[in-house]
Amino acid sequence: MSSAPSTLLLYTSVLVGVAANAVPIPTIPDVLSALGGRIEDTGLYFGIGAIPGIVLAPISGYMAGRCGARNVLVILLLVTSVAGGLSGFAMNTATLMWLRLIQGCGSAGVINLVLILIAENFDGTYRRRALGMNAAVMAGGSALLPFASGLIAEGAGWRWSFHVFWLGLIPSIAAIVLLPRADKREQFSWASIAVTARILEQERKVHFALLTGLLSFMIMYGGFVALMPVHLLEIYNFGPGLRGLVFGTAAIGNFAGSIAQGYIRLTSHTLIVLGFLLLAASLAGFATSPALALLIVAIVIYGLAQGMLLPPMQNLAGSPRDIRAREMGISIWAGCARAGQTIGPLVTSWLLIGFTTSAVFAIYAAAAISAGACSLFARGPLDSGTDN
């Protein structure tokens, strides 16, 4: 990049990527029911949206290097916004699912490209703080967008809630205006990619980030994003507005955990272990909470766990000193995260065939405890030296 992009543009762009999951969360059970589908297919809807990112998220940075970040970012924002907006016109579940798949092609790349641009333009503590701020912006979007979507669905119907995506055209235009045209770096060759891959083979911190990224997103998307809407509908009979409000409370903890990343003196590895333990505690709370107030407390704890997990993982994935290895680490991490986003919701849809929502929460709580225990035993080289 010839010059650092506007952080405001980066953060508004990442909000478009966040909206792909945040906007449908409170409404999707009603949407599926209205279109003749099954409420249990909520997990299938979110899983389908994550499938393209397994491949496209890792190559978005490579394409930005060859075609220019400006061109790639604009295309990704347009795909995410247009496919999301057109979902409001879907007349059956098949059309809805196809549009969700297309939208996933854009949203995965948007978030990953923003992470790469941060990794390229910030180092050390500054990168950690920038990632924390990025996560905080994502937390804010994760709170406000479900609430707004739910209110719109309550007042005007679920179709209008999808029209929020048309606002994504604004950062698309901003990217055209603000990012330089001559934004191409030298083309990557297969030889340079092989050299970068050999560098990553020696980076155990990156390996740790990839594994924990896969596990954490599988648990979070299977045990919260795909499951909580069904739980709130079946147990509390909440409409879209109240479901969006309840989901938004997670941002309280998420924001606190994300902002604290640049100021607390714990290593990335320690933060990840603590994040998994908090995640397990929140999921256990979902399974056992007898009252709504306790459920909301558990959701705030879930948000705190999410805020503690994601920035340190991204920091470790982008820790190599070599700039290309840093980009590749972030890109592969994004692909692992998308794989987790795919596996978790699909597993949830399968589990709901034979288990109650509370039982599925308990299963994911056990998975989070196991992930935390495995992360704890990965100490050694990860805690040596300083976090890059």
- What per-residue confidence (pLDDT) applies to 167? 92
- What per-residue confidence (pLDDT) applies to 99? 95
Find all residues with CB under 8 Å of 163, minimum gap 6, and list them.
Answer: 85, 88
Q: What are phi and psi for residue 2, nearest 5 degrees?
A: -75, -30
C-beta neighbour count of 188 within 10 angstroms: 16
Enter the pTM of the model.
Answer: 0.79
Cα-only R_g, the chain: 20
DSSP string, 95-115: HHHHHHHHHHHHHHHHHHHHH
- What per-residue confidence (pLDDT) applies to 24? 92
The answer to whether 103 and 84 are in contact (CB under 8 A) is: yes
The answer to whether 221 and 310 are in contact (CB under 8 A) is: no
CA dist list (Å): 340 to 137, 150, 278, 335, 345: 22, 26, 19, 9, 9
Residue ranges in the chain assigned as alpha helix (H)? 7-22, 28-34, 42-67, 69-86, 93-121, 124-156, 158-162, 169-178, 190-201, 204-220, 228-236, 240-248, 250-259, 268-288, 292-317, 323-351, 357-376
Q: Residue 338 corresponds to which tokens in the numbers above?
A: 């998308």
DSSP string, 166-223: GGGHHHHHHHHHHS-S----PPP-HHHHHHHHHHHHT-HHHHHHHHHHHHHHHHHIII
Give the span between the Cα atoms of 316 and 269, in whole angstroms: 9
CATH topology of domain 7-383: Growth Hormone; Chain: A; (1.20.1250)
Mean pLDDT by 10 residues, the chain (388 residues): 63 89 89 88 86 76 70 90 95 94 87 76 69 76 84 91 93 82 54 59 76 92 91 89 86 76 75 92 92 92 88 78 72 84 91 92 95 79 48
CA dist list (Å): 221 to 6, 306, 320, 338, 359: 30, 11, 28, 10, 16
